[in-house]
Amino acid sequence: MQYLVSVINDSTDRASADEMTAINAFNDRLQADGHWVFAGGLGAPASATVVDNRGAEAIFSDGPFLESKEYLVGFWILEAPDLDVVLKLAEAGSKACNRKLEVRPFL
């Protein structure tokens, strides 16, 4: 079972050196315990482009599909047998990166 663990923040400030150390330690643990699938940080919402090719021709629009005060700044994809396990991991992850996380299952 895989879960998307999104990192939510109200600014796109990069992680501080201390936060980066904690995130690296957390990532090492995820890999050692077999939970790691993928992870990455994202550029600012202003760098996004929305593409809609449902109609006759593709439309490209500048910016994110949703304007909001808080946005996705990064994510993990984790392997875990159930929600309790991934929630425990997310507790530690939120502490490590010092940001709010959203846990959502893949179907």
Partner 1 sequence: MTVLDPLEALTRAHRQEWARVVAALTRRFGDLDLAEEATAEAFATAVERWPADGVPPRPGGWLTTTAHHKAIDRIRRESKREDKHKEAQVRYDDPTGSGVPLGAIDDERLRLIFTCAHPALAMEARVALTLRMVGGLTAAEIGRAFLVREDAMTRRITRAKVKIRQARIPYRVPDADDLPARVSGVLAVLYLVFNEGYLATGPGTDPVRAELTAEAIRLARLIRELLPRDGEVAGLLALMLLTEARRPARVSATGELVALDEQDRDSWDATLVAEGHRLVRERLATGAAPGRYQILAAINAVHTSARTMEETDWSQVVALYDQLARIDRSPIVALNRAIAIAELDGPEVALAAVEGLEEPLAGYHSFHATRADLLRRLGRTQDARAAYDAAIELAGNTAEKAALVRRRDRLRNPQ
Residues that bind partner 1 (CB under 8 A): 1, 81-84, 87, 103-105, 107
CB of 86 to partner 1, least distance (A): 9
CB of 79 to partner 1, least distance (A): 12
Closest to partner 1 by CB, 14 vs 100, is: 100
CB of 88 to partner 1, least distance (A): 9
Closest to partner 1 by CB, 100 vs 104, is: 104
Please give the radius of gyration of the chain, using alpha carbons only, rounded to the nearest integer.
Answer: 16
Q: CA-CA distance, 36 to 21, in Å (whole number)?
A: 17
CB 23 within 8 A of CB 97: yes
CB 72 within 8 A of CB 99: no
